[in-house]
């Protein structure tokens, strides 16, 4: 495996990196971060934070913070940057222990992730701090001792078909604790999270490393249409986008919208556009239960709320009896032949859960508890027997009415 070189970045190499000189594969983007940073903020993390801050200062960034866990490097930066303006700040800070409440337009972290105790958690901390882009250097998982061709290159290309992470053993010599290939990093940032739209790779001047440039999504208006499986989400979305529910469209802020992009939670990671004007998220509120994550707070698809300027939740309330009927007609019967069911095992599990009315209401309870902690406008929509819209505060009355007519799972 590729060894972690002790070579350090030079100021010139940092300048070249942030100017997009080593994009791999080549990109039309002129720079990793904009050449003009006026009105922007930059966070530089790691032992070369001072060089990154110098570049950000020359490009006119309004707010620049450089941090490192090593107090000696911070003291040295203070001595060398004594003449810098007040908008440039250096601080001794360990992000694995200390938290930053501030968010930054650009977060740049070089020669750090492979040396921390929890690199995956650290990567997510960096992602949370970034509003616009995340630039992070990764120790590359590779069997090539140096760049070149031959059988090493063939094996590396084979390994790139899989998302691989290796945990280092002996770190006493300063070697990396963590190595990963590109697909693993891409999965961590764009599949296990929904806030990044895509990744561009940069060549690192240090052997055995690559630099990942991840772009944060920017959604002007997000509409989350939620309901349990077979609860009528697709029907509601079709009526909304066809203009047949103008009052609900007005509440959702999409009345007159020329283009609404509709995406399911499973397909969110494949949405490559960085900026979306109006996004409708088709969300099954049983998703945390069927994926065994337990609660909506742990579902990465709902992180997309964090990158939206305006958020509206439309939760479709479908009574238990209607849910059972719609599941049978839409998912069970079409996949049943000769008395045998040939469809999804997930739908059979949902069918069993739907036998308990109180359990269905509990799914809604969990979802609305999550919604109360989220910013945005929240509405409860019913389609039968008539289209009605209720505020979230109406749920206790609606659920009490539903509970009064519930049926329980029969005892064995």
Predicted pLDDT of residue 396: 93
Which residues in the chain are classed under CATH 3.40.50.150? 11-216
pLDDT, averaged across the chain: 86
CA 262 → CA 218, 334, 343, 387, distances in Å? Answer: 15, 25, 25, 22
Spatial CA neighbour of 265 closest among 299, 297, 241, 289: 299
pLDDT class of 319 with cuts at 50, 70, 90: very high
pLDDT at 146 over 80: no
- By the 8 A CB rule, do 281 and 263 touch? yes
pTM, rounded to two decimals: 0.85
pLDDT class of 17 with cuts at 50, 70, 90: confident
Which residues have a Cβ under 8 Å from the Cβ of 102 and sit 6 or more positions away? 41, 43, 65, 129
218-404: what fold? Rossmann fold (3.40.50)
- Structure-model confidence comparison of residues 283 and 157, the more confident one: 283
Residue percentage of the chain with pLDDT more than 70: 89
User: Which overall architecture, per CATH, does domain 11-216 show?
Assistant: 3-Layer(aba) Sandwich (3.40)
Beta strands 104-109 and 196-203: pairing type?
unpaired
Minimum mean pLDDT range among 67-81, 82-96, 140-154, 186-200: 140-154
Q: Give the model confidence (pLDDT) of 221-256 as tens digits.
A: 999 999 999 999 999 999 999 999 999 999 999 987
Among 98-112, 198-212, 249-263, 264-278, the range with the most confident prediction by mean pLDDT is: 98-112
pLDDT at 26 over 50: no
Give the separation between CA 12 and CA 73, rounded to whole angstroms: 19
Predicted pLDDT of residue 23: 46
Predicted pLDDT of residue 21: 57
pLDDT at 120 over 60: yes
Q: Which two tokens stand for residue 396?
A: 């206790």
Q: Which two tokens stand for residue 133?
A: 């882009």
pLDDT at 31 over 90: no
Q: Give the model confidence (pLDDT) of 164-187 as tens digits.
A: 888 877 666 667 888 898 999 999
Spatial CA neighbour of 218 closest among 283, 130, 137: 130
């Amino acid at each position: 495996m590729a060894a972690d070189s002790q070579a350090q970045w030079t100021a010139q190499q940092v300048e070249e990196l942030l100017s997009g000189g080593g994009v791999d594969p080549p990109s039309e983007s002129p720079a990793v971060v904009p050449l003009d940073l006026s009105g922007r903020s930059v966070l530089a993390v790691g032992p070369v934070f001072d060089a990154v801050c110098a570049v950000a200062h020359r490009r006119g960034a309004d707010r620049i913070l450089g941090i490192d866990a090593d107090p000696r490097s911070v003291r040295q930066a203070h001595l060398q940057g004594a003449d810098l303006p007040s908008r440039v700040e250096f601080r001794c800070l360990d992000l694995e222990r200390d938290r930053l409440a501030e968010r930054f337009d650009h977060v740049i972290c070089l020669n750090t992730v492979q040396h921390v105790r929890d690199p995956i958690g650290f990567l997510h901390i960096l992602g949370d701090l970034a509003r616009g882009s995340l630039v992070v250097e990764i120790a590359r998982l590779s069997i090539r001792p140096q760049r070149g061709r031959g059988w090493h290159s063939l094996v590396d290309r084979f390994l790139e078909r899989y998302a691989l992470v290796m945990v280092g053993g002996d770190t006493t010599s300063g070697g990396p604790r963590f190595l990963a290939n590109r697909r693993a990093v891409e999965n961590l940032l764009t599949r296990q999270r929904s806030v990044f739209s895509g990744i561009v790779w940069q060549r690192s001047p240090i052997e055995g490393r690559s630099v990942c440039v991840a772009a944060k999504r920017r959604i002007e208006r997000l509409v989350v249409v939620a309901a349990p499986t077979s609860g009528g989400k697709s029907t509601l979305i079709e009526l909304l986008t066809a203009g047949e529910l103008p009052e609900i469209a007005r509440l959702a802020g999409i009345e007159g919208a020329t283009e609404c992009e509709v995406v399911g939670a499973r397909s969110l990671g494949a949405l490559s556009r960085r900026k979306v004007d109006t996004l409708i998220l088709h969300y099954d509120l049983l998703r945390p239960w069927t994926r065994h994550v337990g609660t909506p707070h742990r579902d990465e698809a709902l992180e997309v709320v964090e990158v939206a300027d305006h958020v509206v939740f439309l939760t479709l309330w479908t009574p238990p009896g209607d849910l059972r009927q719609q599941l049978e007609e839409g998912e069970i019967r079409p996949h049943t032949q000769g008395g045998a069911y040939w469809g999804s095992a997930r739908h059979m599990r949902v069918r069993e859960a739907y036998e308990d009315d109180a359990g269905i209401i509990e799914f809604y309870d969990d979802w609305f508890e999550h919604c109360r902690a989220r910013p945005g406008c929240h509405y409860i929509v019913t389609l039968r027997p008539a289209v009605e819209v209720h505020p979230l505060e109406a749920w206790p009355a609606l659920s009490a009415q539903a509970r009064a007519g519930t049926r329980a799972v029969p005892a064995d």
